[in-house]
A and B are shown apart, each in its own frame.
Chain A
């Protein structure tokens, strides 16, 4: 008999794989209707979501009251994968992003080519993301990232017509290949230094190995993964790609696949940092005592965090186009999330996790609104959004909520996540407090460009309604319902708005389970 017990935990991944294959198979057979491919994709992601939620002990009444502690299923001591509760939380975050984008894309124009390819690639990329969340081995992790990356290169170019998209895909691909090369090079150096690629084994060897080799290895890994997370100075590609890609795909890139890079940061760099904390060593790298890579990583990540949030914010201030502004704001948000990795305490990890989830909603939702607004004939410039708040009050309010949440205004999820993140840096004391100060100053700065959009939308005088929208036909078809936005997209946007406010008003809904998951991660390690 073959032992099949290992299959059970992989059920969500298997569901996604099945959905992917089904969509591609139907495509080959000539069934290319958007509705069918879309239904398979969205249902597949939804089913996977509930399977993961069940693994996390979700019950409809108690919510996530009982997070299973530690590792749920380990593939052996030197295994390739490990199901940790934090990993499962991240799987839920990734699936949320895929679900929102899949739901919204149901409202794409019917005549568009490649609808089935779109959903097949979406589920395939999501499969790669789920694998990232359970990686316990450096090579497994990088391969999972690669699976997602290749799917997304294709996603950017899936329309095959738009020159801008093709150009963006080309840039994305070249930068991605460079990033992969750097990452694998770093991994090979680490293997040379430590003789293993198991993440937990590596984490335990913070002070072992040849320092030069270790530092070089981590340096290349930071650079390679920094491309995925759009850390400054590895960020320049992101704006062009987010700007050139079809807007739904931008939503998936900014709201979804970027986050696998952050979880990779958790897995690769938190291990050594946590090991240092456990050993009680100094948190500054230049003290006496044996060499330890953890504090060096903290300094490097802190510098990257401050640089990223500042540069992202300053450049976002200067943007005139909505998508580019959102792209730069997305870069700056990556800097906030990095604070959590740098500080490396349970509250900080919880704060970063919540910030990542918040960003999925806020930024993913914002790009979905941009797509909706472009669909009704509004141009790419911020000033083209004049009076949208009065012309489309509901859409305006939803977008306003996302911007307020991005700015960190209380009673939105963005405030809660920033509060937890920054206060955890204050709690960690020492020089970490300055990270909180930098984060606060940057948040204050970011208010300007979000408020500017709000002003344009709600206070500037509206242009006459564009006549390109066939309003008369609006009610007749589900795709054109809600004034040309479509049922699927409207539902996705509404869902985002509701969750942003619901978690903002009652944060314990998510904060409790995320905190215990983070605590388990700190206790057990990657």
Chain B
């Protein structure tokens, strides 16, 4: 069997390196790399759906798994182990889609294009690595490999307050990842596992006493939660988003937040189930807090980008709620919701970026009735808003519906909190549409223009997938369940 994941990693690595050194031709190299990556991921996805490859002997429960000895000391083995299951595969698909969309959308980047596209490539490379790594050291290595390029994307290509935002982003997420690393290492050393491999960590985690699991889970919950972001530690997100260039925002919302969700499911919920159950009240509380806070604060935003950023907090809160429900359907819903939010929030950040280009401002109240001037932008904004508020036949609907269903199963009438908040979400998106794009024209600068072709193409790619997986969510769900979710203990 071909070492598929290593091949994908190698092509991404080569493409990233080539992009950095490609000078003014960087965008073409980036486009070629992301196209090759997309084809490879499509192949992975299609061959995965064909099933029997799913049960692989090397790492139980993971297909395409590979393992190579890296550092073998007499008492400790570190291997380079990779593999995918349904959860990681869906998120890898998201990575491929967002990478190509970002490259196309940013086609005309003129400020040091080689650096810009190289960092975009590197971010996606790191995300791919996080999703396939089945070894603590490599997981952490890729995790940090995401952080550093995003720091530079915000800090060099960002808005006027970029240095502050980049530093805040770096400090928050870096402290969180140190806590996460300490938690994972404590898990290994405390349990006496002789390897950093996922299977060893999994067995070690299950073998720990409930109290130890509870403490370790809290550490990991904090480490992954800041990336989510969970509410008391969310303040880096609006700043980072507002200052980041559009491409950076797209990757930040579309991929980086998903790292937190993925890490929580893979390395905390699955590994420390007893600790997860003990800590459930904390998780539920934080989830509800994030949902309500993110939504209410969204209502007060005048900046379109800030609005999308706060609605991200709200949506990721629903993801956390679905995880906390702890049933198989809840976990499926969480992964589906992460995928949906990845596509939709990326679309909305592109819309706000294009709105900024078109009107010279992102202030919702400054512009009105823009549809006749910018019909294409208006269409994309409508598509993004409808998908975000959960219109059936768009990707947001199956995700949110199943999340609420799972919550109903577990919590009963508590479901009316997220449900009520969904109404608020719908309200602020529709209100935004109504103010900016409908009604009589107001405050539109004379040089306003509709989206250029490349921005339209970038958003078009995302709209296609919004509709495709909205109509056929089973394409994703059938893959997602091919993971430890299938046998998850549940409530």
Contacts and interface: CB of A to CB of B under 8 A. Distances in A.
Interface stretch (B72-80, B218-226, B268-276): B72-80
Contact of A424 (B73, B78, B137, B189): B73
Interface string A328-346: 0000000000000000001
Interface in A337-364: 346-347, 350
A423 interface: yes
Interface string B54-89: 000000000000000111111110100000000000
A426 interface: yes
Interface in A481-525: 506-508, 511-512, 515, 519
Contacts of B76: 423, 427
A515 B21 CA distance: 39
Given A410-B141, A426-B189, A347 B21 contact: no
A219 to B, nearest CB: 33
Contacts of A512: 72
B74 A515 contact: yes
A364 B70 CA distance: 26
A63 interface: no
Given A393-B21, A410-B141, A426-B189, A346 B74 contact: yes
A13 to B, nearest CB: 32
A415 B29 CA distance: 31
B194 to A, nearest CB: 11
Interface string B170-193: 000000000000000000010000
B38 to A, nearest CB: 26
Contacts of A185: none
B73 A423 contact: yes
B141 A419 contact: no
A410 B73 contact: no
A518 to B, nearest CB: 10
Contact of B74 (A347, A393, A426, A508): A347
Nearest to A505: B70
Nearest to A348: B73
Contacts of B21: 393
A506 B72 CA distance: 11
Taking each of B70, B72, B141, which has the highest tally of chain A beta carbons within 10 Å of its own beta carbon?
Answer: B70
Nearest to B78: A419
A66 to B, nearest CB: 17
A264 interface: no
A506 B137 CA distance: 15
Contacts of B189: 426
Chain A: interface size category: 20 to 34
Contacts of B69: 508
A423 B21 CA distance: 37
Given A393-B21, A410-B137, A426-B189, A507 B74 contact: no
Contacts of B71: 416, 419-420, 507-508, 511
A125 B103 CA distance: 57
A462 B281 CA distance: 56
Nearest to A433: B189
B73 A511 contact: yes
B75 A508 contact: no
A393 B21 CA distance: 9
Given A393-B21, A426-B189, A350 B73 contact: yes
Contacts of B70: 506-508
Contacts of A424: 73
Nearest to B185: A426
Contact of B75 (A347, A410, A411): A347
Nearest to A419: B71
Nearest to A512: B72
A347 B73 CA distance: 7
A350 B74 CA distance: 10
A9 to B, nearest CB: 29
Contacts of A419: 71, 78
Nearest to A420: B73
A387 B233 CA distance: 38
Q: Which 8 A-B pairs have the closest CB atoms?
A: A410-B141, A347-B73, A507-B71, A427-B75, A420-B73, A347-B74, A508-B69, A416-B71
19 contacts: A346-B74, A347-B74, A350-B73, A393-B21, A411-B141, A416-B71, A419-B71, A420-B73, A423-B73, A423-B76, A424-B73, A427-B75, A506-B70, A508-B69, A508-B70, A508-B72, A512-B72, A515-B73, A515-B74
Given A347-B73, A508-B71, 11 more contacts: A346-B74, A350-B73, A393-B21, A410-B141, A423-B76, A426-B189, A427-B75, A427-B76, A506-B70, A508-B72, A511-B71
